[in-house]
């Protein structure tokens, strides 16, 4: 039995906004599941339906295996924590934390002062219990809100961007505290965020949403290492995964070429990867390369390296990100946020890969009304350099490509398994 089960759950708001589209997902007991996606993708709506604050338009929600679509919020044994701290301003910190217990919503045997004392201690705010919320910093207020939610030991935590009003340092600190606190309480958590760092560091599993549709669900490693779609690949990771359009050309018994226009990578023909990609002979696919799959070399091996000229670079203190103009075409999945940049000055003309692109990357017909398809633009291949290595605009650089670390996506943006 799972803690939360969603079966083909949809939510349509007035005005025909399809906020959640036939979403099926399970949250296991004791699991910390993060719902990740950009603003407006429907993640808060999912959370609110699980909390009972919204009713699904279609589908079923089960809590502990029981049908719960119509169960009032109070009967769900769930605590919600929001982005805004919503503390009672006239009450002290201690009274705020103890408030749910005074309402008789405790399920422990402790007295209220003991429970408040323990909770304040666990959250590191023991010396603040007599203060009013207005006398606290944002991070302290969010700790109090956490304490108030945790104190009655609910079985289920529903958290909606609880850290997004805090500054970077506090967010990092509270990330660790929240995940260790809820794990200590053996609670199940559904946590909504648009912040991939929160998702990848806090979650047991991450569910990535886009436009109301669940794209991928898995452990942080699984969704990062084997993203189910091109969208997930682009959404996770900094810098964003390089996604390059390539024509597949099979040279029987020799190799499978990934033709980027001006240059190519080669996969061995007598190799599972080569065989898997060879099925797309004559077609265009998208090849994904994370920055960590690329390393500058003095001389590259043919078919395993890419050459380009530095278009620009960014110093980030601990590393320099270098953007190479490589004469290829980059693909940006719809919803990732780039604007077309085809008229960029200074980039040389691309050799077109042929005329098979119409509708490239669009999802099957039933979802077309919400999908604009990916944007294509001249590629800047991004890779990392240690900060002390000098680099200059226009400099020619060859990067070796770690061929085992490539990702492949078909014209619908779905992962090609190799």
* Residues 307-346 interacting with ligand ATP (rule: CB under 6 A): none
Cβ-based nearer residue to ligand ATP, 15 or 396: 15
Among 149, 210, 158, which residue's Cα sits nearest to residue 47? 158
Q: Which residue is nearest to ligand ATP (CB)?
A: 44
CA 16 to chain centre: 26
Shortest distance, position 209 Cβ to ligand ATP, whole Å = 7
Residue number, 120 or 178, with CB nearest to ligand ATP: 178
Nearer to ligand ATP by Cβ, of 129 and 223: the residue is: 223
Looking at beta carbons only, is 53 or 103 nearer to ligand ATP?
53
Question: Residue 146 belongs to what H/E stretch?
Answer: helix 138-150
Question: How far, in Å, CA of 394 to CA of 377, rounded?
Answer: 19
Q: Under rule CB under 6 A, how many of the chain's residues touch ligand ATP? A: 12
CB of 27 to ligand ATP, least distance (A): 17
3-state helix, strand, coil in the chain (%, to 5): 25, 35, 40
212 vs 361, beta carbon nearer ligand ATP:
212
CB of 359 to ligand ATP, least distance (A): 25
Give the burial class of 170: count Cβ atoms within 10 A of its Cβ; 0-12 exposed, 13-18 middle, 19 or more buried: middle
Q: What is the closest distance, in whole angstroms, from the C-beta atom of residue 202 to ligand ATP in the complex?
A: 17
Rule CB under 6 A: which of 348-387 touch ligand ATP?
none
| 347 Cβ contact partners less than 8 Å away, ≥ 6 residues apart | 311, 325, 378
Phi then psi dihedrals of residue 347, to 5 deg = -90, 140
In the bound state with ligand ATP, the residue whose beta carbon lies nearer, of 46 and 156, is 46
Per CB under 6 A, contacts with ligand ATP among 187-246 are 194
Cα separation of 24 and 253, whole Å? Answer: 43
Nearest-approach distance from CB 13 to ligand ATP, in angstroms: 3
SS3 225: helix
Contact pattern for ligand ATP over residues 6 through 45, marking x by CB under 6 A: -------x---x-x-----------------x-xxxxxxx
Distance in Å, CB of 212 to ligand ATP, minimum? 7
Q: How many other CB atoms are found less than 10 A from the CB of residue 127?
A: 9
Q: Provide the terminal-to-terminal Cα distance of the chain, rounded to the nearest Å.
A: 34
Where on the chain is the footprint of ligand ATP (CB under 6 A)?
A: 13, 17, 19, 37, 39-45, 194
């Amino acid at each position: 039995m799972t803690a939360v089960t969603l079966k083909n759950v949809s939510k349509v708001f007035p005005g025909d906004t399809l906020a959640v589209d036939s979403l099926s997902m399970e949250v296991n007991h004791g699991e910390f599941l993060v719902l990740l996606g950009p603003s407006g993708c429907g993640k808060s709506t999912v959370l609110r339906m699980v909390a009972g604050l919204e009713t699904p338009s279609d589908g079923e929600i089960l809590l502990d295996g029981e049908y719960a679509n119509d169960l009032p919020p109070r009967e769900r044994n769930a605590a919600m924590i929001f982005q805004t701290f919503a503390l009672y301003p006239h009450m002290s910190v201690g009274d705020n934390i103890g408030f749910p217990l005074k309402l008789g919503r405790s399920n422990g045997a402790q007295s209220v002062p003991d429970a408040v004392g323990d909770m304040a201690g666990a959250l590191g705010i023991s010396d603040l219990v007599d203060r009013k919320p207005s006398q606290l910093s944002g991070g302290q207020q969010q700790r109090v809100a956490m304490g108030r939610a945790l104190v009655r030991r609910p079985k289920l935590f529903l958290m909606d961007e609880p850290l997004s009003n805090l500054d970077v340092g506090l967010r990092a600190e509270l990330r660790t505290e929240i995940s260790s606190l809820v794990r200590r309480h053996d609670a199940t958590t559904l946590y909504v965020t648009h912040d991939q760092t929160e998702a990848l560091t806090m979650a047991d599993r991450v569910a990535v949403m886009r436009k109301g549709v669940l794209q991928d669900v898995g452990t942080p490693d699984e969704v990062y290492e084997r993203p189910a779609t091109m969208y997930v690949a682009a959404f996770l990771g900094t810098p964003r995964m390089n996604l390059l359009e390539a024509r597949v050309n099979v040279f029987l018994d020799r190799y499978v070429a990934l033709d980027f226009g001006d240059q190519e990578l080669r996969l061995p023909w007598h190799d599972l990867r080569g065989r898997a990609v060879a099925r797309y002979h004559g077609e265009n696919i998208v090849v994904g390369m994370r920055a960590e799959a690329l390393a500058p070399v003095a001389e590259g091996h043919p078919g395993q390296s890419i050459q380009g000229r530095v278009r620009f670079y960014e110093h980030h203190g601990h590393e320099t990100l270098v953007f190479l103009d490589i004469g290829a075409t980059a693909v940006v999945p719809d919803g990732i946020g780039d604007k077309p940049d085809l008229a960029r000055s200074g980039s040389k003309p691309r050799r077109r890969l042929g005329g098979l692109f119409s509708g490239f990357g669009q999802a099957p017909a039933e979802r077309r009304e919400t999908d604009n398809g990916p944007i294509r633009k001249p590629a800047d291949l991004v890779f990392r350099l240690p900060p002390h290595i000098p680099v200059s605009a226009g400099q020619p650089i060859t990067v070796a490509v770690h061929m085992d670390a490539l990702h492949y996506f078909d014209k619908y943006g779905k992962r090609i398994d190799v």
